[in-house]
Amino acid sequence: MMTPEQYEESLRKLKLKVYLQGELVENPVDHPIIRPSMNSVKMTYALAQDPQYEDLMTATSHLTGKKINRFTHLHQSAEDLVKKVKMQRLLGQKTASCFQRCVGMDAINAVDSTTFEMDRKLGTNYHERFTKFLLNMQEQDWTVDGAMTDPKGDRSLPPSKQADPDLFVHVVEKREDGIIVRGAKAHQTGAINSHMILVMPTIAMGPADVDYAVSFALPADAEGIFYIYGRQSCDTRKLEGGDIDVGNKQFGGHEALMIFDNVFVPWENVFMCGEIEFSGMLVERFAGYHRQSYGGCKVGVGDVLIGATALAADYSGVAKASHVKDKLIEMTHLNETLYSCGIACSAEGHKTASGTYLIDLLLANVCKQNVTRFPYEIARLAEDIAGGLMVTMPSEHDLRHLEIGKVVEKYFKGVCDIPTEQRMRILRLIENITLGTAAVGYRTESMHGAGSPQAQRIMIARQSNLEKKKELAKAIAGISKA
C-alpha cells in the first residue's frame, strides 16, 4: 500500500493536461484551488497506514491474500459492504468533504460481476482482462476514477440519435490492436487526483447504440485525454492567502469535464465493446453501489456540520434554548437515518456469480432517495442556528487589519470568553459545507450524485415487487387466487 507521501509523489509524475479558468495548469498538485481535493484523497492513504483504523481502511485481497487498501477491494461478504459504509463515514468526519475514491471502488465491483456474467453467457474474455487490471490496481494502490456520466445532450434522444454523436463516449474505430474512442465524461469526481480512469456506459443501450456500449481503463494522462476543471462556489477564496474565509482550508473535492479526443485503448484494457444487453446491468449495479456510498460519506460530513452548528450555538449563547436543542436532535435524527439505510442495504447484500457481493438494490436506492432530501434539511437547520452572520461577516483581512480589526472583534463577539476569531471560523466552516466549496460534496451532490432523485424512484419502482405485496394482501383478506 502507498503512503500518503508516495501518493502525492505519484501524482507529480503524471502528465495531466488540465485547464482551470481558461488557463493550462502546469502543476495541478500544488495549485491552491486543486490541492485541498488532493489532500482529501491523501487521507484515504494516511488512515490506511494507521493501526487504529486498519480494520476499516484495509482488506485482504481475494486475488493475492495480501493486505490492500479497501478502496481497491472487491466485496467478499456482507460484512465487507458494511465496513465500506463505516469507512466512508470515518473519512467524511476526517475531511468534511468528498474524498473521491468511492467512485472507482464502486466501479470495479460493478465491472467485476458484470464482466463475469457477460463472459459466461457470450463466451467473451472480458473478465480475465479486468482481473489483470484489478490486480495491478491493488498492487500499485491506484486511485481510480469511475467515469460513467456523459454530457447526454438532448435527453429525449438515445446516444445514436443525437445531433452530435460525441455527446456520449463511443467507439469510432476498431483496430487489430485496440479501439479508438471519442466523447466526454462530465462531473468527474477526483479525476485529476486519479492514476487511472475506468469508463462505463451511462445508460442501458438499444440495438442502434452498439458503439456506445463500451467500458475500458486507461491512465489518467493517456494521450488524447484532457480535463476542464469545474467551478465551485467561493473557490477563489483559496487564492486569497488566508484560511478563515475558506472555511475548510485543508480539504475539498473537485469535479472535471473529461475529454476523449480520439483516444487509443488497447484490447487488453477493454471490458465491454458492443454488448448492449449488459450495459444496463453495469449501470444498475454501479449506481446501486454508489447510492449505498452516500449512506456513509454524506453522514460523516453531516457529523462535522452538526458539531459545527452545536459550537455556533455555544458561541452565540443559545445552546440552552429548547428550540435549538430540538433542531440539533432533528439534525442528528436525519443524519442517522441516512446511515441506517447505508448499513441496511449492506447487511442485506448477496453474492453474485463472480463471488463479489452486491448490495440490496431496493434499499440502496431508498438510501440515496433520502440523501436527496435530508442533507438539505440538515443544512437548513444549520443555517437557522448559525444566524445571518454566516453570510454577512466581514473578511479575515478585516479581522487582521490594524485599525478596523478591533472593531470587527468587538462587534462580532458572542459569548464573552470565546474569541471572536473562533466564532468566525465555525461560521465559515458551516458556510463552506452548506454553501461553499464543500457544498459540492454535500448539499448539491446529495441531489445529483449517483443519479438524480427520479433515477432512484425508477429503480424503487422496479425493485418494489408490487405483485408479491398484492398477493400478501389477498391472503390476509381471504381473496382466493382463482
Model pLDDT for residues 230-256, shown as the tens digit of each residue: 999 999 999 999 999 999 999 999 999
372 tagged catalytic: no
| Amino acid 439: pLDDT | 79
| Amino acid 438: pLDDT | 83
Q: Which helix (H) or strand (E) holds 265?
A: strand 256-266
CATH classification code of 282-465: 1.20.140.10
Q: Please count the residues of the chain.
A: 482
What is the average pLDDT across 25-42?
A: 98
Measured between alpha carbons, how far is 54 from 39 in angstroms, rounded to an integer?
A: 20
DSSP string, 342-373: HHHHHHT-EE-TTS-EE--HHHHHHHHHHHTT
Task: List Cβ neighbours of 44 (8 Å cut-off, separation of 6 or more).
Answer: 57, 69, 71, 91, 99, 101, 143
Q: Exposed, middle or buried by CB within 10 Å (0-12, 13-18, 19+), for 418?
A: middle
294 tagged catalytic: yes
DSSP string, 196-244: EEEE--SS---GGGGGG-EEEEEETT-TTEEEEEPP-TTGGGGGSS-ST
Q: Look up residue 225 and give its three cell numbers.
A: 485525454
445 tagged catalytic: yes
Of the residues 8, 275, 396, 445, only one is catalytic, namely 445
What is the average pLDDT across 45-50?
A: 98
What is the average pLDDT across 372-394?
A: 97
Q: Quick one: DSSP state of residue 395?
A: P
What sign results for the dihedral spanned by CA atoms 214, 285, 190, 66? negative
| Amino acid 34: pLDDT | 98
The pLDDT confidence band at residue 482, using thresholds 50, 70 and 90, is: low
What is the average pLDDT across 277-293?
A: 98
CA-based nearest residue to 231, from 434, 437, 18: 437
348 tagged catalytic: no
The β-bridge partners of 183 are 260
Whole-model pTM?
0.97
Measured between alpha carbons, how far is 398 from 413 in angstroms, rounded to an integer?
A: 14
420-434 and 279-316 are packed helices; what angle lies between their axes, rounded to 10 degrees?
160
Percent residues over pLDDT 70 in the chain = 100
Measured between alpha carbons, how far is 46 from 24 in angstroms, rounded to an integer?
A: 30
Measured between alpha carbons, how far is 454 from 446 in angstroms, rounded to an integer?
A: 13
Q: Quick one: DSSP state of residue 58?
A: E
Of the residues 290, 339, 341, 396, only one is catalytic, namely 290
Whether 438 and 248 have beta carbons less than 8 Å apart is answered as yes
> How do strand 178-185 and strand 225-229 relate by DSSP bridges?
unpaired
φ/ψ of 52, rounded to 5, equals -60, -30
| Amino acid 481: pLDDT | 80
Quickly tell me which residue has 477493454 as its cell. Answer: 270
pLDDT at 294 over 90: yes
pLDDT at 6 over 70: yes
Of the residues 44, 115, 143, 189, only one is catalytic, namely 189
Q: Which helix (H) or strand (E) holds 327?
A: helix 322-347
Cα 333 off chain centre by: 23
Q: Which helix (H) or strand (E) holds 445?
A: helix 443-448
Of the residues 45, 58, 98, 396, only one is catalytic, namely 98
Of the residues 212, 227, 289, 294, only one is catalytic, namely 294
What is the average pLDDT across 16-24?
A: 98
95 tagged catalytic: no
Measured between alpha carbons, how far is 201 from 158 in angstroms, rounded to an integer?
A: 12
Average confidence score pLDDT of the chain = 97
Of the residues 73, 102, 367, 442, only one is catalytic, namely 102
189 tagged catalytic: yes
Q: Please give the single-letter amino acid code of residue 68.
A: I
Of the residues 297, 341, 345, 367, only one is catalytic, namely 297
Of the residues 114, 115, 212, 255, only one is catalytic, namely 255
Summarize pLDDT for 119-157 with one digit per residue, the tens: 999 999 999 999 999 999 999 999 999 999 999 999 999
